[in-house]
Structure formats: structure tokens, C-alpha cells
């Protein structure tokens, strides 16, 4: 599933390549990805200029003007891709092709779970009222107030989009490894300094992943159809049974909140073990 870095990569590419250009056409091959209808999305986009691209967590909102403004929210969900590729011939999974002054932009989605939804000016409150502040923007006091008393595993709390939006499975594992925190530790059992480190390192991992164009595990590609390069930098995610690149200990895999979770038992000792070691 595209997470914050992948969605931010798409947002930056849209701003760089298409902002201030006019959407001059929309070819629909599967209208099920358009809400409330293909006609409504067409009215909101075609003939209008792309004036702004905003991101909140894993959501994008495209604002069109002249006339306008109108807004369309894009959620890539599991397998959504937006890209420009010269000479590309759309396959069966390309559901939309937008035209921007002669430039075709394809939307491809194998699972068909992604959505393009017409939204109003108060979309942050109405459509995203259930979502917390963006992970790259939330301040520590605000985030700490949301997590400090939680007794669920920290990995599960990091995945809770109602706490902070954008962090998904890959980057939660990588952030916890960088912070040296066990995924089963509970926020309520950890000192504020440790939680501050987790937030800091989560942001650091996200920012590095953005610079790398995200992570491609299955089928994510960037705006130019290229896979994300952060996979080469993964330290624990997807590396169960392999040696830790820091200490050589075998990476372990468990399931937390229904999600595959990877960690190094030596670099990420549980809080109870770490406390015991410090007391010796």
C-alpha cells in the first residue's frame, strides 16, 4: 500500500509537472473508482486549471479553478498508481487517462480500491475528520498527548491513522528500528524521551524515503513509472531470517495488529529487558 512517502512523491510530481496546466480531457474505462459518479468528477476537473495539490497523510486533494474552485480527493489505497510514460499503451488495469494540454496522465489500479472523490472546501473536517494530524507536521506535545497513555503495542499505535496520518507498515518497522524500540512495547510504559525519539526517527525515516522516491515492494511506481529506491535502505522490513545490518543478529518476524512486523531482538530489546540491563 502506498504510504506517506509514496503519496508525497506523487504530490511533488503533480505540482512540478501539471500545476497551472488545464485538464482538457478524461477518459474513463472503469467508473467504479470515481465518486459520487464519473459525471461529477468530470465536471470538477475537465476544462479547469490545476491550481494546487495538497497532501494529508495518504490522501491527495487536487484543487481546480478557472472556473472554480472545485476539489477532487485521491486515495491510492493498495495498488493505485498515477504516472506519465511516453509511448505507454494502457493495459486492463488503467481505469482513467487524464489529458493536461496534450499530456496523458494514467491512473492504474490492479485491485480497484483507490478512489477519486469530489469534495467540498471543508474536506479536512468532513472527509478526513477521522484522521489525525499529518505525521510530518504534528508537534511532539500534540502527538505525546495522543499516545502517552496507550497500552496497545507501540507498533499498533503508530499504525493508527487517527493518532497521526501517513505512517504505514513499512515505515513503522523502520522507525522503531532506528529508535531502538521493541514493537510490542506499550507507550504507557515508556518515558517521554523515548517517545520523542520515536517521533523524531519516524519523521527522519519518512523524509529519507521521500528523497528516495518511496519504496516498491510489489507494484508502486513514481510519476515517471519508476520504482521507489528506498527498498535498498530497508533495515528490518521484509528481512526476517536475515542478519541485522547493524549487529548481525537474525531479524525476527511477528504479527502486531494483524500486520507483519519485523525487528532486531538485540537492537530493539523490550523495555523490560532494557531496564534490567541498565540496573546491572
> What average pLDDT does range 73-102 have in this prediction?
92
In DSSP terms, 10 is beta-bridged to none
Are 187 and 160 in contact by the 8 Å Cβ rule? The answer is no
Q: Which of 3, 6, 8, 127 is catalytic?
A: 3
Predicted confidence (pLDDT) at residue 94 exceeds the cutoff of 80 = yes
> What average pLDDT does range 6-20 have in this prediction?
91
Predicted confidence (pLDDT) at residue 278 exceeds the cutoff of 70 = no
For residue 69, whether the previous peptide bond is cis, meaning omega lies within 30 degrees of 0, is yes
Q: How confident is the model at residue 2 (pLDDT cuts 50, 70, 90)?
A: confident
All domains of the chain in start order, with CATH = 4-126 (3.20.190.10), 140-279 (1.10.8.50)
How would you list the strands of the sheet with 94-100, edge to edge?
23-28, 94-100, 103-109, 80-83
| DSSP codes, 152-164 | S-HHHHHH-TTTS
Q: Which helix (H) or strand (E) holds 140?
A: helix 140-147
Specify the pLDDT at position 189.
97
Q: Is the dihedral of CA 135, 140, 146, 150 positive or negative?
A: positive
Instruction: Examine the residue annotation and report whether 259 is marked as an active-site residue of this protein.
Output: yes
pLDDT digits (tens, 9 = 90+) for 185-223: 999 999 999 999 999 999 999 999 998 877 644 454 556
Are 236 and 215 in contact by the 8 Å Cβ rule? The answer is no
DSSP state of 212: T
Q: Which of 42, 150, 245, 259 is catalytic?
A: 259
* % of the chain surpassing 70 pLDDT: 91
Q: What is the largest CA-CA distance in the chain?
A: 70
Predicted confidence (pLDDT) at residue 224 exceeds the cutoff of 70 = no
Name the more confident of 225 and 121. 121
> What average pLDDT does range 220-239 have in this prediction?
74
How would you list the strands of the sheet with 59-65, edge to edge?
34-35, 115-119, 70-75, 59-65, 49-56
Are 53 and 5 in contact by the 8 Å Cβ rule? The answer is no
Q: Which of 2, 5, 183, 187 is catalytic?
A: 2
Least confident among 74-78, 125-129, 152-156, 274-278: 274-278
For residue 36, whether the previous peptide bond is cis, meaning omega lies within 30 degrees of 0, is yes
Are 127 and 47 in contact by the 8 Å Cβ rule? The answer is no
pLDDT digits (tens, 9 = 90+) for 142-181: 999 999 999 999 999 999 999 999 999 999 999 999 999 9
The average confidence (pLDDT) of the chain is: 91
d(CA 135, CA 154): 15
Q: Which of 49, 58, 146, 235 is catalytic?
A: 58
Q: CA separation (Å) from 267 to 56, 235, 257, 258?
A: 32, 11, 22, 23
Specify the pLDDT at position 223.
62
d(CA 72, CA 74): 6
Task: Give which of 223, 224, 1, 221 is closest to 111, Cα–Cα.
Answer: 1
Q: How confident is the model at residue 1 (pLDDT cuts 50, 70, 90)?
A: low
Predicted confidence (pLDDT) at residue 276 exceeds the cutoff of 70 = no
Instruction: Examine the residue annotation and report whether 5 is marked as an active-site residue of this protein.
Output: no
Q: Tell me the whole-structure pTM to 2 decimals.
A: 0.89
Amino acid at each position: 500500500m502506498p504510504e506517506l512517502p509514496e503519496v508525497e512523491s506523487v504530490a511533488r510530481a503533480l505540482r512540478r509537472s501539471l500545476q497551472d496546466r488545464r485538464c482538457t480531457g478524461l477518459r474513463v474505462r472503469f467508473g467504479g473508482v470515481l465518486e459520487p459518479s464519473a459525471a461529477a468528477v468530470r465536471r470538477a476537473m475537465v476544462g479547469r486549471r490545476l491550481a494546487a495539490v495538497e497532501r494529508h497523510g495518504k490522501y491527495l486533494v487536487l484543487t481546480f479553478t478557472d472556473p472554480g474552485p472545485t476539489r477532487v480527493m485521491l486515495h491510492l489505497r493498495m495498488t493505485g498508481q498515477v504516472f506519465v510514460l511516453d509511448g505507454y499503451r494502457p493495459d486492463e488495469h488503467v481505469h482513467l487517462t487524464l489529458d493536461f494540454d496534450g499530456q496523458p496522465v494514467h491512473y492504474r489500479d490492479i485491485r480497484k480500491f483507490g478512489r477519486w472523490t469530489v469534495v467540498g472546501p471543508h474536506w479536512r473536517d468532513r472527509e478526513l475528520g477521522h484522521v489525525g494530524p499529518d505525521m510530518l507536521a504534528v508537534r511532539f506535545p500534540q502527538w505525546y498527548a495522543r499516545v502517552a497513555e496507550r497500552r496497545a503495542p507501540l507498533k499498533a499505535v503508530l499504525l493508527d491513522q487517527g493518532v497521526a496520518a501517513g505512517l504505514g507498515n513499512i515505515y513503522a518497522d523502520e522507525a522503531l528500528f532506528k529508535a531502538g524500540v521493541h514493537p510490542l512495547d506499550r507507550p504507557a510504559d515508556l518515558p517521554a524521551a523515548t517517545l520523542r525519539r520515536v517521533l523524531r526517527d519516524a519523521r527522519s525515516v519518512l523524509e529519507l524515503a521521500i528523497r528516495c522516491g518511496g519504496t516498491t515492494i510489489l507494484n508502486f511506481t513514481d510519476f515517471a513509472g519508476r520504482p521507489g529506491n528506498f527498498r535498498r535502505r530497508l533495515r528490518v522490513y521484509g528481512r526476517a531470517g536475515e542478519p541485522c545490518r547493524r549487529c548481525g543478529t537474525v531479524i525476527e518476524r511477528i504479527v502486531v495488529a494483524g500486520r507483519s512486523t519485523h525487528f532486531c531482538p538485540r537492537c530493539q530489546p523490550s523495555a523490560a529487558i532494557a531496564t534490567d540491563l541498565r540496573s546491572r
